[in-house]
């Protein structure tokens, strides 16, 4: 990486939790300089404006969540249902980290992604679509392999899981009570077991 690239990455990493906690529109240039120890001139020398910083930070935060969560869909888990359960367990096991860093960056940015920041809205939409697409692909693969019922609508279940997880995170983050997220995650596991999984004869 060049010196300029290293500086940009430094700014992004140093302000990642700041933007996620305070908000992508509420975080100011002064907040950024305080978090990084750099001058405004240095910030503007690497980014066109605060909105560009916010957008790159969102991409960074969303990419971290995506890479870590989507490890659940890797070859470590042999069946599609195991991969779906691993996705659920990712949120169960990483709740403390998510809570400490301000909550889910996708959901946080989604609440701010209105007409005043269309580029952020576009990126958030892309993040959710990627999550939904990859979850649907896991379900379809399970249907092909005879692990998941063929009459299940992969896209509908994928969207349902995302809505439940994000809603659980929102309620738990707002109240400070993990049990709401646990309730949601347990419900998703029940759906996987009772509505998706093909029960093979013993």
For 196, residues 6+ apart whose C-beta sits below 8 A from its C-beta are 81, 84, 139, 142, 148, 149, 152, 157
Angstrom distance (rounded) from CA 10 to CA 70: 25
pLDDT at 200: 55
The neighbouring-strand residues paired with 148 are: 197
Q: How would you write the pLDDT of the chain (202 residues) with one tens digit per residue?
A: 788 899 999 999 999 989 988 888 889 999 999 999 999 999 999 999 999 999 999 999 999 888 888 788 877 888 999 999 999 999 898 888 777 777 788 888 888 777 678 889 899 999 999 999 999 999 999 999 999 999 999 999 999 999 999 999 989 988 988 999 999 999 999 999 999 998 754 4
Burial 36-67 (b: 16+ CB within 10 A, else e): bebeeebbeebbeebeebbbbbbbbbbeebbe
pLDDT at 65: 86
Name all domains of the chain by residue range, CATH numbers in brackets: 58-196 (1.10.357.10)
For 202, residues 6+ apart whose C-beta sits below 8 A from its C-beta are none
3-state DSSP: the chain helix, strand, coil percent, rounded to 5?
75, 0, 25
Q: Exposed (0-12), middle (13-18) or buried (19+): which is 72, by Cβ within 10 Å?
A: buried
pLDDT at 70: 79
The neighbouring-strand residues paired with 197 are: 148
pLDDT at 112: 78
């Amino acid at each position: 990486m060049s010196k300029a690239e290293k500086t940009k990455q430094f700014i992004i990493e140093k302000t990642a939790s700041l933007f996620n906690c305070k908000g992508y529109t509420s975080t100011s240039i002064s907040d950024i300089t305080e978090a990084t120890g750099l001058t405004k001139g240095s910030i503007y020398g690497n980014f066109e404006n605060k909105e560009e910083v916010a957008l790159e930070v969102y991409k960074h935060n969303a990419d971290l969540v995506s890479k870590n969560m989507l490890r659940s869909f890797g070859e470590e888990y042999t069946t599609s249902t195991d991969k779906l359960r691993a996705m659920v367990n990712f949120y169960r096991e990483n709740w403390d980290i998510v809570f400490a860093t301000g909550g889910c960056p996708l959901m946080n940015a989604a609440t701010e992604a209105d007409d005043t920041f269309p580029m952020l809205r576009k990126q958030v939409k892309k993040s959710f679509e990627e999550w939904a697409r990859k979850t649907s692909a896991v379900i379809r693969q399970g249907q092909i392999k005879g692990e998941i019922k063929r009459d299940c609508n992969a896209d509908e279940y994928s969207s349902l899981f995302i809505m439940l997880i994000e809603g659980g995170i929102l309620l738990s983050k707002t109240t400070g009570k993990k049990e709401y997220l646990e309730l949601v995650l347990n419900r998703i596991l029940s759906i996987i077991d009772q509505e998706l999984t093909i029960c093979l004869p013993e």
